[in-house]
Amino acid sequence: MSMRRQRLTRPLLAIMALLGVMTSAWAGAKTAAELRRMVEDIEAMAADVAGETGIAAVSPRVLDVIATVPRHEFVPSEQKTSAYRNRPLAIGHGQTISQPFVVALMTELLAVKEGHRVLEIGTGSGYQAAVLAGLARDVYTIEIVRPLAETAAAAFERLGYTNVHTRIGDGYRGWPEHGPYDGIMVTAAPDHVPPALIEQLKPGGRLVIPVGEIWQDLMVLTKNADGTTTTTTVVPVRFVPLTRDEKEQD
């Protein structure tokens, strides 16, 4: 390379590097603004439906965690421009990532504390588990669709969610090796409450689950000290059905 070409190339490289930094900063600011709007949408919707859910507002602790989770990292590339809209998005294989408000509501209903061990049935894209990871000590999450499970596991590793533990399999039977759990969340709808999940719940623990067929009831089951449960029906919801492994069905 000649001296003249070197003199021309170095400033050009510097300009390109500066443009890269500026573009990255702009993208980061845009994402932060979209996250803020999404959190505001969650707060507004929570207020609108408080009479139905019995939840006056989503707690600051839950909202603060949601404000740190990059939802665009948990959706397919073709959905990234819609990542921070308050609506569900398709993630492939007939599955969806839940509406941010529903994620916030179910997380609030689970009442996760810092030292809790939580089980999630239906990892999907991994977004809900990432939110739970900011609140709990450990999150164990099961996904039956292998490509989704592998993509989510890669996202957890890339983004540093070291307290999320993944497994590929039928979530209907839970994950007894790490139970009992302080809380269990199910993000797909069975037509009844799986008995194994109640068995794996600690006394005083909560199970948040949509139950039904086309339309479901979002329910909160609290396990009592004597092993019985108290059930509260919260609101109608619509989730994809809970997929079962045909070989493991009773």
Query: For residue 194, is it within any domain?
Result: yes
Q: In the prediction, which pLDDT does 12 show?
A: 56
Q: List CB contacts of 109: < 8 A, sequence separation 6 or more.
A: 55, 206, 208, 218, 220, 234
Q: Has residue 37 been placed in a domain? A: yes
Q: Which 3 state secondary structure label does DSSP give 9? A: helix
The confidence band for 31, taking pLDDT boundaries of 50, 70 and 90, is: confident
Q: For residue 113, tell me if it sits in a domain.
A: yes
Whether the predicted pLDDT of 250 surpasses 60: no
22 in a structural domain = no
181 part of a folded domain: yes
What's the domain count of the chain? 1
Q: pTM score, two decimals? A: 0.86
* First CA to last CA distance, the chain: 73
Question: Could you tell me if residue 174 is inside a domain?
Answer: yes
Residues 193-213 have pLDDT tens digits of 999 999 999 999 999 999 999
Q: Specify the pLDDT at position 214.
A: 84
Domain containing residue 35 = 29-237
Residues serving a catalytic function are 98
Evaluate whether residue 19 is within a structural domain.
no
In a domain, 243, yes or no: no
CATH code (residue 114): 3.40.50.150
Q: What is the pLDDT of residues 216-239, one digit of tens each?
A: 999 999 999 999 999 999 999 999
DSSP 162-221: TTEEEEES-GGG--GGG--EEEEEE-SB-SS--HHHHHTEEEEEEEEEEEESSSEEEEEE
